[in-house]
Amino acid sequence: MKKFFALLVFVAMSQASFAQEAGRFRMVLEAGPAIPKGGGIGMLFNAEPKINVADNMAVGVRFGMAGLAKDVTYYDLTDDYEGDLSMNLSASATFDYFFHREGSKLAPFIGAGYGYYALSNVKVKSDDFTNPDNFGDLSANFKWAPMIRVGLELNKFRMGAEYNFIPSSDLQNASGQVIGEAINQYFAFTFGAFLGGGRWH
């Protein structure tokens, strides 16, 4: 996966010499905090090659990964805890529409996407880590899901907010046994920049 993201960055940089005008190829790189439905915290990272099909419209493919900690409980006066850990990898087709005025460097946008998510949700306890033998074969679930987002671009910088409507999937214990259902929907703030594609002017 790391080699794939490195390749995407290399392609974006190689395009920079002839992709400085709006309406061409660009690469968006962004990261930010993620908030699972029902509470918790996490982080995400997205890499999204895009093509501006018009001055105010862009299509792309977003490759993302998110790690979430949900329903974490700490017990008073001890080091004991339990909670749900979630990791997902995704690839989504995306579309953004920009509300840009000529002469302004600011470009608000709304967007949506639809993609394929690989999901793994595990309930862990503190004593799972004191005994490595507790960990077994963990399996992933795969789901199709939509995403919506809003945000703005300023020069080469981009910030936004998004919501991923991922269906529920299996919740496993550390041994790999299915013990329930996990909620996968999450809200996130994203901060990043893009390479290529020119600046808004």
In order along the chain (201 residues), what is the average pLDDT of each group of 10 residues? 48 37 80 94 97 90 95 61 86 95 87 97 73 70 97 93 96 84 95 80 63
pTM: 0.80
Domains and CATH numbers, the chain: 2-196 (2.40.160.20)
Distance CA 128, CA 122 (A): 11
Q: Which two tokens stand for residue 121?
A: 């949700």
164 three-state secondary structure: strand
The predicted structure's pLDDT at residue 10 = 46
Neighbours of 24 (CB within 10 A): 15
The predicted structure's pLDDT at residue 12 = 41
Distance CA 129, CA 148 (A): 37
- Rounded to a whole number of angstroms, the distance between the first and last alpha carbons of the chain is 35
